Structure 1
Amino acid sequence: MDQTAAGGGARTDEATERTPVRFDTKIAVLLRDDLEPWQRLNVTAFVVSGLGTAVPEVIGEPYADADGTAYLAMFRQPVLVFEGTKETLSLAHARALSRSLATAVFTSDLFGTGNDRDNRAAVRAVRRDQLDLVGMAVHGPRNAVDKVLKGARMHP
């Protein structure tokens, strides 16, 4: 048992491990509220996949079970999912870009494509303020992400 420097109280490594971890950053997904359930899942999976490549520090260590079977590393922090109107998404998109936050987008056009090349071409064909956004993921400082998501509500 280690003694703490201030206060002389005892503290164990076990107690430290049980202390909740509070991250100074936030990962959030914002979905348009008129999507079908399968679309919500699809969009969420696509937009969060981009964050690990752009912000590698959001990825934790690989997993292993008691038998030593290795599994892929995942995000080291929770992903919060929100929903909002088309207008809420447009505002959040503009706020995220104005704050230079890591942002991934999914537009309605991507439901009609079938591969990465066509997905990128569909986004590239539309000006930023004309994108028909149906979802986005954003990562950054907690307070900045909170401001980006103003007007959105937690996904039910």
Structure 2
Amino acid sequence: MEAGAAAEDEPVRFDTKIAVLLRDDLEPWQRLNVTAFVVSGLGSVSPEVIGEPYADADGTAYLPMFRQPVLIFEGTKETLTKAHGRALSRSLPRAVFTSDLFSTGNDRDNRAAVRAVSADQLDLVGLAVHGPRNAVDKVLKGARMHP
């Protein structure tokens, strides 16, 4: 057996976690839209979460993706508000999606809608966080895995 072969067969364990928390009253299309938007920000501030580019057997190149799973949770409006406060107090990289963003149609208006509301008054429908596993677990206290 080659040196290192056993290590390649062992499960990969990550010391960090990527998680999305969605409000439990969203429509299915909204859940997908919010998830796509909030995770898109994490790689820009935490480049270590991005893996290597992909390629198929024909050599066709594909973009790199997250190197670890993204766990999806759901909770009430109150759960999201508490999780947001915990993410802020722990200074974890985070992205938010507010209910106002469903009625905007571009990045400039999205940013203006968030900027118009103080942090403790945001009507959150989605939150993405990345950080040490235990810190993310504490942020998500009260949330449940998305069905």
Corresponding pairs, count: 147
Is the counterpart of residue 104 in structure 1 residue 95 in structure 2?
yes
Deviation at 1:18, TM superposition (A): 1.4
Aligned partner of 1:144 in structure 2 is 135
Deviation at 1:90, TM superposition (A): 0.2
Aligned residues: percent identity?
86
User: What CA deviation, in whole Å up to 9, does each residue of 1:97-146 have, x standing for no partner?
Assistant: 00000000000000000000000000000000000000010000000000
Structure 2 Cα separation of the partners of residues 22 and 13 of structure 1: 16
Superposition RMSD in Å = 0.8
Is the counterpart of residue 153 in structure 1 residue 144 in structure 2?
yes
Aligned partner of 1:30 in structure 2 is 21
3-state SS, counterpart of residue 134 of structure 1: strand
Which residue of 34, 42, 50 maps to 1:51?
Answer: 42
Structure 1 Cα separation of the partners of residues 25 and 59 of structure 2: 43
Larger radius of gyration: 1
Deviation at 1:16, TM superposition (A): 1.6
Aligned partner of 1:6 in structure 2 is none
Deviation at 1:14, TM superposition (A): 3.2
Structure 2 gaps of 5+ residues are none
User: What CA deviation, in whole Å up to 9, does each residue of 1:44-90 have, x standing for no partner?
Assistant: 00000000101111000000011110000000000000000000000
Which residue of 50, 65, 89 maps to 2:56?
Answer: 65
Structure 2 Cα separation of the partners of residues 35 and 14 of structure 1: 45
Tell me the TM-score normalized by structure 1. 0.92
3-state SS, counterpart of residue 41 of structure 2: helix
